[in-house]
Amino acid sequence: MPPLVNASRCTGCAGKEESFCERACPGDLMAVSPQSGKAFCRAANECWDCMSCIKVCPSGALELRIPYQIGYFGARLRPILGRNSITWKCRDINGVESTYSYRNRTN
């Protein structure tokens, strides 16, 4: 499933020749619409949920829609990258939200 784009947060990486999500996508599936200036996935059926675009989005506008086989509709998972950590915001199928933070680099 392609990432869900929060249009109110997406800036399309304004001022950049290529957005972060476009540069990070290994399948060259992410693009920024010339009309709206917002990111979108060109071929949703080809997205393999690698989360590269989600992890690099500087405005936190992208999140993963967990496939229904795993979490049913409505479940979401969103990473927030810190300098030395990653925080995962999770929402289950009942709307219950949880936050998990992990250190991902050592000094």
107 pLDDT band, cuts 50/70/90, is low
Q: Is the predicted pLDDT of residue 102 greater than 70, yes or no? A: yes
Asked if the 4-103 domain carries CATH number 3.50.50.60, the reply is: no
* 43/80: higher pLDDT: 43
Residues 16, 18, 28, 48: which is the catalytic one?
A: 48
Q: What is the pTM of this model?
A: 0.65
Q: Are 60 and 77 in contact (CB under 8 A)?
A: no
pLDDT at site 31:
96
User: Domain ranges in the chain?
Assistant: 4-103
Does residue 48 have an active-site annotation? yes
Cβ of 68: how many Cβ atoms within 10 Å?
A: 12
* 107/32: higher pLDDT: 32
- Each residue's pLDDT tens digit, 9-58: 999 999 789 999 999 999 999 999 999 999 999 998 898 888 889 989 99
List all residues 6 or more positions away from 92 whose beta carbon is below 8 Å from its beta carbon. Answer: 71, 75, 98
